[in-house]
Amino acid sequence: MTLIRLYIDKDVIDYPQVASIRSRINLPAIIVEDVRQVYKKISSSPDPVQAGKETLLLTKNMGAFIRDCPGTSYYKCCGYKILHIGTFCIMDCSYCILQSYFHPPILQFFVNHRDMMAELDLTLSEKKINRIGTGEFTDSMIWELWTNLSNTLVSRFSTQANSVLELKTKTTAVGNLKNLQHNKKTIISWSLNTEKIIYSEERNTSSLSARLKAARKCESWGYPLAFHFDPMFIYDGCENDYKQVVKQLFSHVSPENIVWISLGTFRFMPSLKPLIQQRFSDSKIVYGEFIPGIDGKMRYFKPLRIALYKKMVRWIKDIAPDVVIYFCMEDDEVWEKSLCFIPSEPDGISDMLDKSAAKHCNLISC
């Protein structure tokens, strides 16, 4: 995906981050009095999603930088915190919820880093473990093209002992991480899928092999790793395909350096279906055996999810029996039938992941 438009909010024109980013982008900058002008322009495009991926807006985050993960009371949540660095993505996955989550969807990078760091410092001063990630509303590493964000964040996290940063990606943009002093306080993680899904549904992303080679590099640089099989798709032959991905994963990296692996199957709000049908007319992913979940999202029929989860857990545990596996947004029945236990309430998943982070990232458990 090629960036073809650069807008700058007039209120941030003199921010140091803006000058740094402009020096890396060979585009004329358009200064806007009101960012709503940009939103309106993107919304009126024939394909707002495509236009949003080609447009970068440098502006302020007017809300909180650190937020709780937008989980739901209906399913078990892991207690993750989000560092809200920006929005949207230059890659183009058919199933991406961000297509319908933002109105309009647009690449925004928040340049008020003094505010961000002040808020982060307050969180990092808390006498408890915090797991904080930047990959909820964007891909963590696409910003490496234009910013020094990883340097800023990895360096800051390296100087404290209670919290961990997770940078989650589908890219191989890890070169800037090589020489950073991280003190194991940053986890580099990848979203993984089968070759079939990557080829057909994840446009402009790195191949499976390339992602795993990048993970091996990060492991050689001393970083803890994590992996997310989410969303997984059920299709003819999917079980063998996912089994092969598990084998490839452990042929590249050591189980001892994996902090956690998450599992989740494809789920979507009904509003996403027409977007996928329009933008990915050859995609078949919305035509599976779905039923409405209690959170309003369409989900695979539960027995189908459990059957795939059980096999994934077995394949992973056969190679890496001590690796922590957890589910993203699943209920007690799925946990019990797939992992043979139910996390205790209210913080069972959080406690499990905190302990793994403390072990792999040398955190002080307060």
Confidence of residue 9 (pLDDT cuts 50, 70, 90): very high
Q: Compute the average pLDDT of residues 280-295.
A: 94
Tell me, yes or no, whether 271 lies in a domain: yes
List the one residue out of 228, 212, 130 whose CA is nearest residue 174.
212
How confident is the model over 311-332, as a mean pLDDT? 96
* DSSP-derived pairing of the beta strands 267-268 and 298-300: antiparallel
Residue 267 is given by DSSP the state: E
Please state whether 272 falls in left (phi above 0), alpha (psi between -120 and 50) or beta. alpha
Nearest to 234 by CA among 287, 272, 282, 295: 287
Residue percentage of the chain with pLDDT more than 90: 90
The Cα diameter of the chain in Å comes to 58
Predicted confidence at residue 76, as pLDDT, reads 64
The answer as to whether 48 is a domain residue is: no
Residue 20, domain member (yes or no)? no
Query: Is residue 2 scored above 90 in pLDDT?
Result: no
The predicted pLDDT at position 74 comes to 63
Alpha helices (runs of H) in 286-331, residue ranges in sequence order: 302-319
41-49 average pLDDT score: 94
pLDDT of the residue at 50: 95
Mean pLDDT of 89-117: 93
Confidence of residue 257 (pLDDT cuts 50, 70, 90): very high
* For residues 45-62, average pLDDT: 96
Mean pLDDT (whole number) for 84-92: 96
Residue ranges making up the domain that contains 181: 66-83+114-361
**pLDDT for 328:** 85
CATH number where 301 lies: 3.80.30.30
Q: What is the pTM of this model?
A: 0.96
Mean pLDDT of 225-248: 98
Question: In this structure, is residue 102 part of a structural domain?
Answer: no
Q: What b/e string do you get for 112-131 counting C-beta neighbours within 10 Å, with b at 16 or more? A: bbeebeebbeebbeeeebbb
Total domain count, the chain: 1
Q: Is residue 58 part of a domain?
A: no
Asked if residue 89 is part of any domain, the answer here is no
Single-letter amino acid code for the residue at 327: F
* Cβ atoms of 97 and 47 closer than 8 Å: no
Q: Which residues pair with 107 in a beta bridge?
A: 56
Contacts made by residues 310-319, CB under 8 angstroms, sequence distance 24+: 310/337, 310/338, 311/239, 311/242, 311/243, 312/229, 312/232, 312/242, 312/246, 312/263, 313/263, 313/338, 313/339, 315/242, 315/243, 315/246, 315/247, 316/246, 316/261, 319/246, 319/247, 319/250, 319/255
Domain membership of residue 253 (yes or no) is yes
Q: Which of 309-318, 321-330, 341-350 has the lowest mean pLDDT?
A: 341-350
In terms of Cα–Cα distance, which of 164, 155, 152, 157 is closest to 111?
152
pLDDT for the residue numbered 79? 78
pLDDT at position 366 is: 53
Task: Classify residue 162: in a domain, yes or no.
Answer: yes
Give me the pLDDT at residue 357, please. 97
Which position has the higher pLDDT, 87 or 346? 87
Task: State the average pLDDT for the chain.
Answer: 95
The pLDDT of residue 345 is 79
**Is the pLDDT at 72 greater than 70, yes or no?**
no
